[in-house]
């Protein structure tokens, strides 16, 4: 270990540092040439890790990583020991990572390291600029040597800690005839030995997706699906890699590959998992290593969902319809559907308890809590209208209905009692954001070559992330007329209308104890609900349809009415601890009313409403 640290220190000094800088400059030249100005150059360099697949292979990056580990690891150990003594239950705090990071950044050791590195790099860069012609006169030879070095080192890796299924993992390409392609498909048959199937799958991964015709896909679909579902991790990993390489191009074949991936995922939730272990129940939580295959597949699915909207307008409407229907049919899949239908008919108390097995929506919420994919799909009318039409169909209406019911279960649980459930929801929010921060930190450590323990999520964390995803899904659909037409939704013995759903959101703001999560409060339930209401109120059409009615207005103005009807200050402030919660509720309601007043329908309704406006003097404000 000491020799490794000394080697890292030597690479950051003298001629070794110049060599590392020279290698970085030569390999970044193609990216920098595309920049049109200094601002674009700065942006490229700031996002170099995202855009350059060889970023972590540069000698300068390796040396910096080793040097940082040498300085930071003792500081992290020291901080963990201090926290374990001062705060025995640190795992329940969402600020542990932030506090450790802040103390390390402010430590003398870290500041000295940054100053020393800055001084060394600056001096070597100045020297290289003075001798620029000598340093880069043999630029072509340097570039060829660098590329040859990477080609020699590059190999397939099936580790859980590397960046799997990157669109840049094209090590080599092979163009083959239909006859050769047919032989490979025959070798992938389930009856063949695993070694034969592995060899055929490896050859298939070297082919180009553009070179494969529609007829080829017809004979490839079944053996490729068998490979994805196979119990052999290497074979299924190769099959998933083949799909990831296909998603990297804009060939029409990506439609069939995406459909195949959705079909594979549907089989995992429909009970046809073959030798794979059963899906865990929500109450049991989720260990990432145990569900690594599913998470990788959903990650690939979600990445493609966020990218496909950029180019699907190039193809026919059938291309779009097939992609949309495959996605919606996947979201509509429920494990043990008969049991789920029976659970929906049980009492309201049972509906308020998280139960059942994990669904595709849980995995999407884990990877994309804020439903970015849906935002992009609803952005243009080309995809928005067909998507809303599919969701409104009877066989797919369960996607919207289940999301509404899950949101109501969470919102009503907090509104039913002022302390207990609200504290439970807040604890779920803290745990969920802490888990997301831990996942991000462990991913950065794994990319840096560090070791991390197994990552997992409790049932409460998964349930809260599911709530966030469902809340944003429902409220975004409520912006559109066809989305609001999906109401009412059956819930127990009643029907949930659009107005009742908005009222539940408003009452949640009034009863929930606002406790910021982390520094930015990214996952705070009240902030998410308030933002969703403000977005609905800011749009003229959704404001008129969802908020401009007496039922919603009465719920919005209730805390103001209660405050102004109080006979004295003691009745107005019954408990000192409730001041912050009451002020937060009034401020949230004021923000929503302000957003309503900024639209013509909202202003007209506020001036004409008879839902208690005159009673509390709101018209005078």
H, E, C per residue of 122-185: HHHHHHHHHCHHHHHCCHHHHHHHHHHHHHHHCCCCCCCCCCCCCCCCCCCCECCCHHHHHHHH
Which residue in the block uniquely carries the two structure tokens 């009452």?
Answer: 507
Q: Which residue has better confidence, 417 or 393?
A: 393
Cα(70)–Cα(8) distance, integer angstroms: 9
Residue 170 pLDDT exceeds 50: no
Looking at residue 280, its pLDDT comes to 80
pLDDT (average), residues 500-507: 94
The predicted-structure confidence for 115-128, as pLDDT tens digits, reads as follows: 888 888 888 888 88
Looking at residue 516, its pLDDT comes to 45
Looking at residue 419, its pLDDT comes to 44
Report the Cα 285 to chain-centroid distance in Å. Answer: 18
What is the pLDDT confidence band of residue 85, given thresholds at 50, 70 and 90? low
Question: Mapping DSSP to helix (H, G, I), strand (E, B) and coil, where does residue 576 land?
Answer: helix
Neighbours of 494 (CB within 10 A): 11
What is the pLDDT confidence band of residue 57, given thresholds at 50, 70 and 90? confident
Question: Mapping DSSP to helix (H, G, I), strand (E, B) and coil, where does residue 456 land?
Answer: strand
pLDDT (average), residues 467-492: 95
Which residue in the block uniquely carries the two structure tokens 């997992």?
Answer: 456
What is the pLDDT confidence band of residue 405, given thresholds at 50, 70 and 90? very high
Going from the C-alpha of 166 to that of each of 139, 171, 208, 509, the distances in angstroms are: 29, 12, 16, 42
Residue 47 pLDDT exceeds 70: yes
User: Considering the chain, what is the average pLDDT of its residues?
Assistant: 76
Looking at residue 75, its pLDDT comes to 83
Q: Which residue has better confidence, 363 or 288?
A: 363
Both tokens of residue 349?
A: 């108390």
Residue 593 pLDDT exceeds 90: yes
Residue 386 pLDDT exceeds 50: yes
Among 259, 415, 411, 256, CA closest to 326: 259
**Percent of residues in the chain assigned helix, strand, coil, to nearest 5:** 70, 0, 25
Cα(42)–Cα(271) distance, integer angstroms: 51
pLDDT (average), residues 411-416: 75
Neighbours of 193 (CB within 10 A): 9
Half-sphere exposure of 270 (CA within 13 A, CB side): 13
Q: If you write DSSP's letter for every residue of 8-55 in order, what string do you get?
A: HHHHTSHHHHHHHHHHHHHHHHHHHHT--SHHHHHHHHHTHHHH-TTG
Residue 227 pLDDT exceeds 90: yes
| Percentage with pLDDT > 70 across the chain | 69
Backbone angles phi, psi at 489, to 5 degrees: -115, 130
Q: Which residue has better confidence, 359 or 164?
A: 359
Contact present, 379 and 387 (Cβ < 8 Å): no
Which residue in the block uniquely carries the two structure tokens 């040396």?
Answer: 63
What is the pLDDT confidence band of residue 549, given thresholds at 50, 70 and 90? very high
What is the pLDDT confidence band of residue 274, given thresholds at 50, 70 and 90? low
Half-sphere exposure of 41 (CA within 13 A, CB side): 8
Residue 567 pLDDT exceeds 60: no
Contact present, 285 and 267 (Cβ < 8 Å): no
Both tokens of residue 175?
A: 């163009």
Cα(531)–Cα(592) distance, integer angstroms: 9
The predicted-structure confidence for 244-267, as pLDDT tens digits, reads as follows: 888 887 777 889 999 999 999 999
Q: Which residue has better confidence, 189 or 47?
A: 189
The predicted-structure confidence for 283-302, as pLDDT tens digits, reads as follows: 888 888 888 899 999 999 99
Strand extents, DSSP E, 303-411: none
Both tokens of residue 536?
A: 């609905």
pLDDT (average), residues 426-455: 49
Residue 96 pLDDT exceeds 80: no
Residue 243 pLDDT exceeds 80: yes
Among 540, 554, 536, 528, CA closest to 498: 536
Looking at residue 397, its pLDDT comes to 95
Residue 534 pLDDT exceeds 90: yes
Q: Which residue has better confidence, 582 or 477?
A: 477
Residue 1 pLDDT exceeds 60: no
Helices (H), 448-497: 459-477, 481-484
Beta-strand relationship, 456-457 and 489-491: unpaired
Both tokens of residue 23?
A: 């290698």
For the ranges 63-67, 75-79, 247-251, 296-300, the maximum mean pLDDT occurs at 296-300
Cα(323)–Cα(312) distance, integer angstroms: 9
Among 540, 534, 550, 410, CA closest to 467: 410
Residue 137 pLDDT exceeds 70: no
Neighbours of 139 (CB within 10 A): 13
Looking at residue 136, its pLDDT comes to 61
Which residue in the block uniquely carries the two structure tokens 């997301």?
Answer: 436
Looking at residue 155, its pLDDT comes to 40
Contact present, 232 and 218 (Cβ < 8 Å): no
Among 438, 597, 460, 574, CA closest to 525: 460
Among 404, 548, 556, 550, CA closest to 477: 404
Looking at residue 347, its pLDDT comes to 40
Strand partners, 286: 457
CA 48-53-58 angle, to 5 degrees, is 75
Q: Which of 52-56, 505-509, 565-569 has the lowest mean pLDDT?
A: 565-569
The predicted-structure confidence for 351-360, as pLDDT tens digits, reads as follows: 444 557 899 9
pLDDT (average), residues 591-601: 93
Residue 495 pLDDT exceeds 70: yes
Looking at residue 426, its pLDDT comes to 56
pLDDT (average), residues 191-196: 91
What does the longest C-alpha to C-alpha distance in the chain come to?
89
Residue 206 pLDDT exceeds 90: no
Report the Cα 50 to chain-centroid distance in Å. Answer: 16
Looking at residue 407, its pLDDT comes to 94
Question: Mapping DSSP to helix (H, G, I), strand (E, B) and coil, where does residue 207 land?
Answer: strand
Looking at residue 518, its pLDDT comes to 43
């Amino acid at each position: 270990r000491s020799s490794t640290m000394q080697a890292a220190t030597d690479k950051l000094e003298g001629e070794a540092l110049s060599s590392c800088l020279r290698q970085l400059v030569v390999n970044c030249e193609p990216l920098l040439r595309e920049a049109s100005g200094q601002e674009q150059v700065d942006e490229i360099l700031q996002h170099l890790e995202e855009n350059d697949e060889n970023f972590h292979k540069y000698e300068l990056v390796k040396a910096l990583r080793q040097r940082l580990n040498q300085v930071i690891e003792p500081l992290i150990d020291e901080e963990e020991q201090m926290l374990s003594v001062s705060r025995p239950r640190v795992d329940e705090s969402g600020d542990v990572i932030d506090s450790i990071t802040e103390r390390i950044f402010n430590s003398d050791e870290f500041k000295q390291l940054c100053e020393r590195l800055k001084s060394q790099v600056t001096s070597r860069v100045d020297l290289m600029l003075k001798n620029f012609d000598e340093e880069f006169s043999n630029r072509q030879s340097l570039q060829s040597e660098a590329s040859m070095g990477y080609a020699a080192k590059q190999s397939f890796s099936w580790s859980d800690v590397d960046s799997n299924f990157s669109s840049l993992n094209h090590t080599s390409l092979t163009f083959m005839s239909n006859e050769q392609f047919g032989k490979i498909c025959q070798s992938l048959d389930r009856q063949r030995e695993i070694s034969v199937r592995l060899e055929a799958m490896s050859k298939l991964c070297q082919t180009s997706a553009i070179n494969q015709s529609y007829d080829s896909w017809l004979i490839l679909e079944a053996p490729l699906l068998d490979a994805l579902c196979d119990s052999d991790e290497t074979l299924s990993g190769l099959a998933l890699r083949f799909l990831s390489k296909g998603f990297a191009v804009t060939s029409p074949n990506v439609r069939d590959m995406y459909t195949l991936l959705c079909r594979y995922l549907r089989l995992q939730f429909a009970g046809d998992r073959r030798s794979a272990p059963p899906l865990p129940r929500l109450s049991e939580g989720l260990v990432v290593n145990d569900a690594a295959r599913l998470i990788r597949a959903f990650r690939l699915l979600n990445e493609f969902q966020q990218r496909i909207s950029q180019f699907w307008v190039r193809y026919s409407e059938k291309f779009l319809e097939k992609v949309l229907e495959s996605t919606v049919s996947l979201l509509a899949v429920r494990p043990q559907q008969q049991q789920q239908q029976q659970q929906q008919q049980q009492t309201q108390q049972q509906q308020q308890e998280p139960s059942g097995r994990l669904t595709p929506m849980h995995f999407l919420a884990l990877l994309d809590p804020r439903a970015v994919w849906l935002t992009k799909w609803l952005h243009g009318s080309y995809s928005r209208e067909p998507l809303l039409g599919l969701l409104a169909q009877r066989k797919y209406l369960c996607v919207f209905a289940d999301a509404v019911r899950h949101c109501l279960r969470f919102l009503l649980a907090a509104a039913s009692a002022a302390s207990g459930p609200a504290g439970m929801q807040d604890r779920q929010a803290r745990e969920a954001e802490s888990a997301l921060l831990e996942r991000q930190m462990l991913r950065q450590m794994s990319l840096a070559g560090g070791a991390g323990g197994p990552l997992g999520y409790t049932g409460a964390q998964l349930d809260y992330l599911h709530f966030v995803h469902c809340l944003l899904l429902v409220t975004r659909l409520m912006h559109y007329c066809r989305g609001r037409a999906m109401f009412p939704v059956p819930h127990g013995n009643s029907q949930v209308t659009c107005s009742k759903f908005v009222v539940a959101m408003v009452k949640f703001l009034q009863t929930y104890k606002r406790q910021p999560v982390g520094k930015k409060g990214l996952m705070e339930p009240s902030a998410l609900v308030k933002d969703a209401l403000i977005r609905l109120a800011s749009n003229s059409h959704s404001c008129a349809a969802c908020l401009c009615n007496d039922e919603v207005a009465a719920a919005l103005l209730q805390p103001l009415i209660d405050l102004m009807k109080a006979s004295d200050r003691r009745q107005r402030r019954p408990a000192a601890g409730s001041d912050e919660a009451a002020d937060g509720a009034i401020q949230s309601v004021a923000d929503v009313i302000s957003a309503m007043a900024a639209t013509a329908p909202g202003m007209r309704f506020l001036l004409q409403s008879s839902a208690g406006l005159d009673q509390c003097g709101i018209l005078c404000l």
